[in-house]
Amino acid sequence: MKPEYKKKDIRSFVIRAGRMTEGQKNAFDKWWPTYGLSLFDGEVNLQETFGRQAPLVVEVGFGMGDSLLEMAKSEPEKNFIGIEVHPPGVGRLIHRAGDEQVTNLRVYMADAKDVLEDCIPDMSVSRFQLFFPDPWHKKKHHKRRIVQTDFVALVARKMRAEGCFHLATDWENYADHMMEIMSQSSEFENMSPDYLFSVKPDYRPDTKFEKRGERLGHGVWDILFKKITG
């Protein structure tokens, strides 16, 4: 399967080359009908999709999906939607979710902005997660960073009042950029004092990538903002 796209604006990602394992390929045949959602089906009916009403957590860019699956399992009272463009990660996630009979998780393999604009209902998200997005560390590439004023406004439109927008990065320059952009929004307020980063909440698992970075002396910055408008 290939990621679904609609618009052709500047992308915040590049498709990384990489082969899927046989297990990941087979996962699409076996488990995509259960876990997969399509961009082209339009706005998702959450009640029909999950068979219940529950707080919704949306994560953009879940990578190989291990931490998202762990959160879905540890918070069964919530519904989770993951958005990712890389087929190997999607295949791995739905393969594991199916084997472990996880029922509160669904997945889009599509561009995050397209999904948010066309599929996620307004004022439906209780927690929005953006963990370790591509930092595009070269200055000439900063325009590709997903955290920009228009993206924050889009997320705000999708979130419930008092909902949490949780960002995390291991690039200090990007952390400062995130903090600046978030602090400029009139629709969010820092859950820590102004311009201070937050302690990592217990619900966010440590990723293998994160643990490797810590061994190399890299820092990790968590940023939590609360939606303050209805």
Instruction: For residue range 155-209, list pLDDT tens digits in order.
Output: 999 999 999 999 999 889 999 999 999 999 999 999 999 999 999 999 999 877 6
Top-confidence residue, 222 or 134: 222
Flag whether 193 is in a domain: yes
Could you give the 3-state DSSP secondary structure of residue 84? Answer: coil
Residue at token pair 């029909």: 48
Following CA atoms 57, 63, 67, 69 in sequence, which dihedral angle do they give, to the nearest 10 degrees? Answer: 70
Q: Is there a catalytic annotation at residue 134?
A: yes
How many domains in the chain? 1
Quote the DSSP letter at residue 110.
Answer: B
Amino acid at 105: L
Residue 36 is assigned to a structural domain of this protein: no
Contact 126, 56 (CB under 8 A): yes
pLDDT at 207: 78
108 conformational bin, left if phi > 0, alpha if psi -120 to 50, beta if neither: beta
Q: In Å, what is the CA distance from 78 to each residue of 37, 57, 142, 171?
A: 18, 7, 34, 30
CA distances from 219 to 33, 46, 212 (A): 39, 37, 11
pLDDT per residue as tens digits for the range 54-106: 999 999 999 999 999 999 999 999 999 999 999 999 999 999 999 999 999 99
In which domain, by residue range, is 120 found?
A: 55-227
* Rounded Cα–Cα distance for residues 113 and 81 (Å): 14
Look at 103-107, 115-119, 130-134, 180-184 and tell me which has the smallest mean pLDDT.
130-134
Percent of the chain topping pLDDT 70: 91
Answer whether residue 205 is part of any domain: yes
pLDDT at 12: 47
What is the average pLDDT value for the chain, to the nearest integer?
91
Cβ contact 106:49 at 8 Å: yes
**CATH number of the structural domain spanning residue 168:** 3.40.50.150
pLDDT score recorded for residue 11 = 53
Residue 167: how many CA atoms within 13 Å on its side-chain side?
29
3-state secondary structure of 2: coil
With 0.85 as the threshold, say if the pTM is over it: yes
Please identify which of the residues 134, 202, 206, 222 carries the catalytic annotation.
Answer: 134
- Residue 20 DSSP one-character state: P
Q: Is residue 32 part of a domain?
A: no
Residue 154 in domain: yes
Instruction: Identify the pLDDT of residue 9.
Output: 57
Q: If you compute the radius of gyration of the chain from its CA atoms, what whole number of angstroms results?
A: 17
In a domain, 34, yes or no: no
Is residue 78 one of the residues assigned to a domain? Answer: yes
For residue 141, pLDDT beyond 90 = no
Q: Is residue 22 part of a domain?
A: no
- Asked whether the predicted pLDDT for residue 152 surpasses 50, the reply is yes
